[in-house]
Amino acid sequence: MLFDSEKPTIGIEYADGETILREGEIGDHLYVILEGRVEVVVDDGGERPFQLAILEKDGFFGEMSLFSDLPRVASVRALGPVRLMTLDKRGLLRWLADDPSLSLRIMLKMVERVRLLVSEVVHLRKLLRDNRLL
């Protein structure tokens, strides 16, 4: 047990630094963070992987590959001990059919990420323009 050994735990636990999912793999699970933090990293050809985001309790990851059937675009590593709940693709699709409102939160999170992405793109374009690279 990575957390309080006296207490029963729900979910699956990962140790600090452990890779939870790997860039390029085909994914069939969505991961929800019950406890702890994870970092989302991509290999951009640099010396060290580039950190895209840090996700905390209640956050989830793995949804892009789950819905698109394409390889994962980033790796996810545990930042300290982390406890996750996984949802497999078949189960999730069945629940979404039974309860479409379940997709609302997933959509809201994805919208949030698209907004962040747009603001990052705008920020990068501004940097490039300021440095007369654009």
State the residues that interact with other proteins by CB under 8 A: 3-4, 7-12, 30, 32, 34-35, 57-58, 60, 85-87, 91-92, 95, 98-99, 101-102, 104-106
- Contacts of 104-108 spanning 24+ positions with Cβ under 8 A: 106/60, 106/63
Smallest separation, CB 23 to other proteins (Å): 23
d(CA 10, CA 24): 28
d(CA 77, CA 127): 29
d(CA 106, CA 99): 13
Smallest separation, CB 17 to other proteins (Å): 20
Distance of CA 62 to the CA centre of its chain: 5
Q: Is 50 or 95 the residue whose CB approaches other proteins more closely?
A: 95
Q: What is the DSSP string of 105-123?
A: HHHHHHHHHHHHHHHHHHH
Smallest separation, CB 109 to other proteins (Å): 9
Q: Is 69 or 88 the residue whose CB approaches other proteins more closely?
A: 88
Residues shown for the chain: 134
Q: Is 1 or 134 the residue whose CB approaches other proteins more closely?
A: 1
Which residue's entry shows tokens 């929800």?
32
Q: Is 80 or 91 the residue whose CB approaches other proteins more closely?
A: 91
Smallest separation, CB 11 to other proteins (Å): 6
